Chain A
């Protein structure tokens, strides 16, 4: 089991800066993130977008801000578990915690800091009755191993890039492939859209426009879906797999079941130190809420600084902390 002072959930800018603030107070950090790289939204969604409201940087690319933060925390040697989602929080009798991930990694710590941003990104599921009953039994929301679909009858749904890309790819793998799309046009890469349309014209795939999958059928395993065409005609397609590809939506995920006080999907905190209703658990950045909350990286940085002062008292009980400016003492490596 890994042991640290603070376990930070989320490797976005605020989670990374929390490592820095904790490091200044000589507290060790372990950072966990569901994504395989650090940087959170900045790295995953908009690395090339400029940010204008970071003090001292008139303009900085999101990706560069992440790189700078990584450099800034180097002296404190944080450790990372990436590509694993936090699942469980176990409070120990002595008030410390064990944080457990989806892959079974366990981190023992005295303080947990949730810096999860928007939460973890999960597939957006269409509102189809019994859809969840068929998950893993013919319904999938992503294509992990294309070989699984070899010589199978596959129905894809969606109109974005992933729906187009997987239609093209799986057309050479599946025995029969149908793409169901609500609209009449595609906003994805034009070349992909053109290719899908021509593949349909040549009879390599079936393309159903102005259509929605409305029902899933099967006995323990999917064997057909019902498609409503143009809001009036119902059509049943025999299918071994149905893959709705409607993008990702951020969700709080398992954190929702930790007993934290929530308000509209965000964690309520005390603005004195950004602590939650569970002693020793803090929430900073976009994932928290309080009166006057602003979802800005800048505000998350401020929250990280106050959190670290408070966490110091938990990790060093009875020891007095005296605020020291970095201009006076510099950065002392951990």
Chain B
């Protein structure tokens, strides 16, 4: 059965956009944002090597653990915060329902 969750994205202009994301397609939050034509360059295509899909998590339930690639990249970003994540590494699952993220300026 197809399920969808809600993800809220705050753009750099401060506008909040509500997105519906299917949980059964193996998408990442970055891919959902791109599919909804939000300004996410994501130039490396989801390999955690460019950080141009960097978001700050404002509200969430349990988030998946960071893998080494994501953690390493965030460690090197000069403007990352304690709640920064790479949206390409956040897989859309039912646990992410209600996630609120802010798009960070391009690295």
Contacts and interface: CB of A to CB of B under 8 A. Distances in A.
A285 to B, nearest CB: 11
A213 B52 CA distance: 22
Contacts of B75: 159-160, 183, 186-188
Contact of B78 (A118, A182, A186): A182
A152 to B, nearest CB: 23
Interface string B32-57: 00000001010111010111100000
A249 B73 CA distance: 11
A124 B41 contact: no
Given A45-B49, A187-B72, A286-B45, A249 B79 contact: no
B1 to A, nearest CB: 28
A101 interface: no
Main secondary structure of the interface of A (DSSP, over half): loop
A247 B44 contact: no
A265 B107 CA distance: 13
Nearest to A127: B79
Interface residues of B, number: 22
A163 B77 CA distance: 12
Given A45-B49, A187-B72, A249-B51, A264 B41 contact: yes
B25 to A, nearest CB: 15
Size bin of chain A's contact surface: 20 to 34
Contact of B76 (A46, A119, A124, A266): A124
Contacts of A126: 78-79
Main secondary structure of the interface of B (DSSP, over half): loop
Given A45-B49, A124-B107, A249-B51, A212 B78 contact: yes
A244 B77 CA distance: 11
A124 B72 contact: no
Interface string A178-212: 00001100111000000000000000000000001
Contacts of B80: 182
A295 interface: yes
Contacts of A157: 78
Interface centre among A46, A124, A266, by most B CB within 10 Å? Answer: A124
Contacts of A149: none
Given A124-B107, A187-B71, A246 B76 contact: yes
Interface string A254-294: 00000000001110000000000000000000100000000
A46 B78 CA distance: 24
B86 to A, nearest CB: 13
A158 interface: yes
A153 B100 CA distance: 43
A245 B78 CA distance: 9
Nearest to B72: A187
B43 A250 contact: yes
Given A118-B44, A124-B76, A244-B78, A250 B50 contact: yes
B41 A265 contact: yes
Contact of A247 (B43, B45, B76, B79): B76
Contacts of B76: 124, 158-160, 163, 245-247
Nearest to A160: B76
28 contacts: A45-B47, A46-B47, A124-B76, A124-B107, A126-B78, A126-B79, A127-B79, A158-B76, A158-B78, A159-B76, A160-B76, A182-B80, A183-B75, A187-B71, A187-B72, A187-B75, A188-B72, A188-B75, A212-B78, A244-B78, A247-B51, A247-B73, A249-B51, A249-B52, A250-B44, A250-B50, A265-B41, A265-B43
Interface of A: 41, 45-46, 118-119, 124, 126-127, 157-160, 163, 182-183, 186-188, 212, 244-247, 249-250, 264-266, 286, 295
Smallest CB-CB A-B distances: 7 pairs: A126-B78, A247-B76, A160-B76, A187-B75, A295-B45, A159-B75, A246-B78
Interface of B: 39, 41, 43-45, 47, 49-52, 68, 71-73, 75-80, 105, 107
